[in-house]
Amino acid sequence: MKSNARKELISWIITIGLAFIIALFIRTYIFELVDVPTGSMLNTIQLNDKFIENKFIYRFEPIKRGDIVVFRYPDDPSVNFVKRVIGIGGDTIEIKNGILYRNGVAIKEPYLKEPMDKNGVFGPYKVPPNHYFMMGDNRNQSLDSRFWQHRYVSKDAILGKIVFRIWPINNIGSMAGK
């Protein structure tokens, strides 16, 4: 009887250990739960919304303008940020009279919380190869590439793409096209 209890205990320890290793692998390399504690992405992302971040998607497809990504903040890599990709390597970004221009073309941004302050003039910024220019959707309240000491996010600093909202329940759904 003692031998069976011992075997059962060892079986449980191995099962729990294996489950822990698998969960750690998934969280590290595939998917992770992301909480957004600030209002810099309003109205696309509300305070304390929770999302699933796809950590492997950029191994199979390029980072695109408009993607909402999780990345290491260039001025303090111990902090992760969530912002929208506005410019990719080679783009020139400029803001004049509250309008975003990419490569000299005014960009329509239906996701913005409100129009940008018309007094704000930023740029032009030439995005280096393998780097990205990031901005929040709540432009008048966002600490983003316009204000950072290290203005651009390197490809290596991008951790993943926000793909699915899981909280609040009444807003569950894909983030594609947001």
Structural domain span for residue 105: 2-174
Provide the pLDDT for residue 1. Answer: 57
CATH of the domain at 81: 2.10.109.10
pLDDT recorded at residue 165? 93
The one catalytic residue in 40, 55, 145, 161 is 40
Helical segments of the chain, H only = 2-29
Out of 55, 83, 113, 161, the active site residue is 83
Q: Clarify whether 83 is annotated catalytic.
A: yes
Instruction: Mark whether 40 is an active-site residue.
Output: yes
Write down the H helix ranges in 30-71.
Answer: none
Backbone phi, then psi, for 73, in 5-degree steps?
Answer: -60, 125
Sign of CA dihedral 153, 154, 157, 162: positive
What is the number of structural domains in the chain? 1
158 by Cβ neighbours in 10 Å (0-12 / 13-18 / 19+) ranks as: buried
pLDDT of residue 26: 67
What pLDDT tens digit does each residue of the chain (178 aa) get?
577 888 888 888 888 888 888 777 766 667 788 888 889 999 899 988 999 999 999 999 999 999 999 999 999 999 999 999 999 999 999 999 999 999 999 999 999 988 888 777 899 999 999 999 999 999 999 999 999 999 999 999 999 999 999 988 888 888 887 7
pTM: 0.86
